[in-house]
Structure 1
Amino acid sequence: MLKKDKILIIEDEFIVAYDLKMMLTKSGYLVAGIASTVERARQLIEQKKPDWVLLDIILKGDETGIDLAHELLQKKIPFLFISANTNHTILEAAKATQPYGFLVKPFRERDLFVMLDIARYRYGIEMGHIHQNANEPETSNISIDGIIGKSLALLNSLEKIKIVAPTNTSVIILGESGTGKERVAQAIHQFSARKDNPLVTINCAALPINLIESELFGHEKGAFTGANQKRIGKFEQANGGTIFLDEIGELPLESQVKLLRVLQEKEIERIGSDTTMKVDVRIIAATNRNLEEEVSEGRFRLDLYYRLNVFPIQLPTLRERREDIPLLVNYFLHKFSNSTGKKNTRISESALQKLQEYDWPGNIRELEHLIERNVLLASNQEIMDIHLPNISKKQVVRVPEQFINTMEEVECEHILKVLNACQGRITGVGGAAEILGMSTQTLYAKIKKLGIKTGYK
């Protein structure tokens, strides 16, 4: 997105819309107009042909920004959401429209332009408008030690690494345990301009709760009992380089606040110090938790989630890329045959078939350990059989087909029951929204999504 491109603002709060217009105009962008309803937005899209759209979710009228987002996706008009709505269901619906970013109100001018710059870069790469600078590390043929395969699911993840590695953008790596999140973090650092500076890794789940801030930000001598000397924290150690925060979902809320400050202000403060220091650190985070659920349950800050979720990379499970299992098996056979001195170890077709039929709850890490163990136990050059873990499966209860409902059908039925019990009243004390434990806006959105025909108010 080059300066002078036209941006359409779709926002029903006049003050927010006007502030956006002033920010964009001052920075050199053209504002194609402001719309407060989906109907008016459609008119401006046809008349002005905007290059980008800033789109609020909850608008005046019956239609939402999510309704319009699906149309923008079909028209291939890139857009970013701006919203104060933090409901998990709406967040999921918004994600399905494939926005280029999500800005949470209230936001600062700096937040807006960081998000626009990232969106510009992603869109430019996807459309072929941006080609890699000659001074940037070559990433067209990324090879990550220990992450082997040619499946589409894996290649999609590697393509995202190629896009984001040369930038300074914060990245969050999502995936089950054992899918290779740390190796991906190492690759992002390796293919960045920071590769000659430190990559500092810290496992948030392994930090004692009373030492988290000291580990991350350091402390001065005498800051607390036992602080006999000054300690340099992980962020300071990573200055000029990258810090990898593994298992970020385990970080306590108090520490999340301080981490957010580092992301926003690029500065830290040692415990016991009354001065701050600037740090130039790129943050890569990883988790096997569903952070959106953590946000909805109040265990993870929404503002930190959006700060980290600028460029998510979802790693596929091994069961989602079974066609890569033979390549991975051969890779690990070669690796452990060499390290143990057992040359030319191979695997029988029947044993390989068993590996391809297994579900791999521990993913690549589990496969690696299994191959290592079997190479050590092999009495000759061929592994004839593999003994897989005997993980008992819960008994499947067969339910007659006529009693099976989808989650949407169950949700729809429940909402209708509550609405009937409330005699159609949605708002106010004793209204359906209060009984269901959700905001009025969210309930209206669900009624619309589920196709509940009603005149309820």
Structure 2
Amino acid sequence: MNYKAKILIVEDQYLEANNLEVLLKRADYRVCTIARSVSSAVKIIEKENPDLVLLDIQLKGKLSGIDLAKLLSRKNIAFIYLSGNSKQQFLDAAKITRPYGFLAKPFREKDILIMLEVALYTHKENLALTRQRLNPSADAGGNNHAFSDMIGHSKPMLTLQQHMRRIATSEVSVLIFGESGTGKELIARNIHLMSNRARQALVSVNCAALPPSLIESELFGHEKGAFTGALDKRIGRFEQAEGGTIFLDEIGELPLDVQSKFLRVLQEKEIEVLGGKNKRVNVRVIAATNRNLQEDVVAGRFRADLYYRLNVFPLVSPPLRERKEDLPLLVNHFITKLSKIENSNVSRVSDQAMQEVLNYDWPGNVRELENLVHRSILLSTEPIISTFGTLMEHPAKPNAESDYRRTIEEVEREHIVAVLEKCNWKVYGPGGAAEILGIKVPTLNSRLKKLNIEKVRLRPSDKISKSHH
């Protein structure tokens, strides 16, 4: 028999360890001697050399699974955490060790097998990349898909693209983390185009833009007369995506009651139509968020079981400030693209203008950069943009001890208020706050609501006070 890989189970609960062993053997994996503690695991690793370790975080004894994970990282052995604990302190400590995934107890066989397959493939590719860096002349092989509109050759972008290639043809759920404006929807579209579902629909839904009272109907559909105002039957977004992919942006904004129904879709591939019968759906799910969902889980704002079902293969869309070597490529790309759209003769930027771009931190990320180039092209009367000047926001650097003690929300709120006042509280359209901030209007509206920003309550002299929080 051709075995897939050799797996070590480190779990001090006999029943759970035994169930995992049976499951893995049935799926043609070889299983090492089960370890009940870190000390026994170390001995088994030296003797049996596993390909991957399923590792419980909390073990009996002085040493935890996190302690063992550090050894596994040094030995370059892949590992997946097993945990029934969603406390933030454990999640933060575990995340630092860079596992290949988390499996929440109780386990579902399908989730385990999918995560194992993805983790083993990812680890194999990482080893190949390491060898390639040590020997650059070696042929890396692999999928040479040309990513649509994904510009950049920085290490964060190459890593992201590599991960996208790995999971494109899988059916695994994908969760994309990243700040606003980093291109999370672009990532989802490219994964869809590389998948076996590329000939079917990609349906995008911005969860933050949907009113809470309508979001369930929007996602799952309703029958005529299902509620007051339901004058006609409605086909939900999941049904519209049948055979294809659904992209749920701002997934952290889903109300808790809708989260439970979304969990059913992931588990049972079935939707609950309002006023009608349940329906089976064949849809791949890609979700995205700019929030820290682990914190939301701890705070009770996001279901832990849904988080773990979604987070089988997380992707990180890097902020622009972490890949500044891509800025010249992006600037030239947007000049070529937008000059053609606007029928402009602008063809490049001066060295000074490029230096301005490189010196800026880009809080609005790629969307802010594109908007800046677009405005500059519209205003330019020469073929060269000599400077971006006042079109570029230059937030003041903190110069007092109190500035460093402000929370991220305080800084964000003050910046958004300043922009709104600058554009006379115009939210959308040319010169509006959404364009200046480089974010979508629904996203800005969501931030206004979360940060409790209302025009009638604010004066130009308003500052952020600690009492707000």
Q: Deviations over 1:119-167 (max 9, x none)?
A: 23323433459xxxxxxxx84243222x312211211111111111121
Q: Indicate the residue corresponding to 2:319 in structure 1.
A: 317
- List alignment gaps of at least 5 residues for structure 2: 130-141, 406-469
Structure 1 residue 365, shift from structure 2 partner: 0.6
- Aligned pairs for 1:144-183 (under 5 A) are 144-145=148-149, 147-183=150-186
Instruction: Work out whether 1:29 is the aligned partner of 2:29.
Output: yes
Using the TM superposition, name which of 292-301 and 361-370 deviates more: 292-301
Pairing 1:7–2:10 present: no
Amino acid across the alignment from 2:123: Y
CA contact (8 A) 1:144 1:184 kept: no
Within a 5 Å distance, the mapping from 1:159-308 to structure 2 comes to 159-273=162-276, 275-308=277-310
Q: SS at the partner of 2:111? A: helix
5+ long unaligned stretches in structure 1? 130-137, 405-457
CA RMSD in angstroms comes to 2.0
Q: Is 1:142 equivalent to 2:146 in the alignment?
A: yes
2:357: which partner in 1?
Answer: 355
Q: Which amino acid aligns with 2:144?
A: S
Could you tell which deviates more after superposition, 315-324 or 193-202? 315-324
TM-superposed deviation, 1:368 = 0.6
Give the number of equivalent residue pairs: 389
Answer whether contact 1:178 1:364 (CA < 8 A) is retained: yes
What residue is the counterpart of 2:466 in the other structure?
A: none
Contact 2:346/2:382 (8 A) holds in 1: no
State how far apart, in whole Å, the 2-side matches of 1:120 and 1:370 are.
42
Residue deviations 1:74-132 (CA, integer Å, cap 9, x gap): 11222211111112121122122222221111122232222222223323433459xxx
Cα deviation per residue 1:216-237 (whole Å; 9 max; x = unaligned)?
A: 0101111111111211100000
Distance 2:176 2:77 in 1: 27
8 Å CA contact retained: 2:178, 2:184: yes
Structure 2: distance between partners of 1:267 and 1:14: 34
Q: TM-score, normalized by length of structure 2?
A: 0.79
Letter paired with 1:269: E
Indicate the percent of aligned positions where both proteins have the same amino acid.
Answer: 52
In the TM superposition, 1:372-383 aligns within 5 A as: 372-383=374-385
For the 8 Å contact 1:37–1:60, the answer to whether it is kept is: yes
Structure 1 pair 127/271, CA: closer, same or farther in 2 (3 Å)?
Answer: same
Equivalent position SS for 2:31: strand
Q: In the alignment, is the contact (CA less than 8 A) between 2:118 and 2:167 conserved in 1? A: no
Structure 2 residue aligned with 1:123: 123
- 1:144 is aligned with what amino acid? S
* Paired position in structure 1 for 2:427: none
Distance (whole Å) between structure 1 residues aligned to residue 116 and residue 229 of structure 2:
46
For residues 49-98 of structure 1, give each alpha carbon's deviation from its aligned partner in whole angstroms, at most 9, with x where no partner exists. 32322111111110001101111121122221111111212112212222
* Matched ranges for 1:374-453 at <5 A: 374-386=376-388, 387-393=390-396, 395-398=398-401
Q: Aligned pair 1:328/2:337, yes or no?
A: no
1:14–1:334 distance in 2 versus 1, CA, 3 Å: same
The Cα shift of 1:214 comes to 0.5
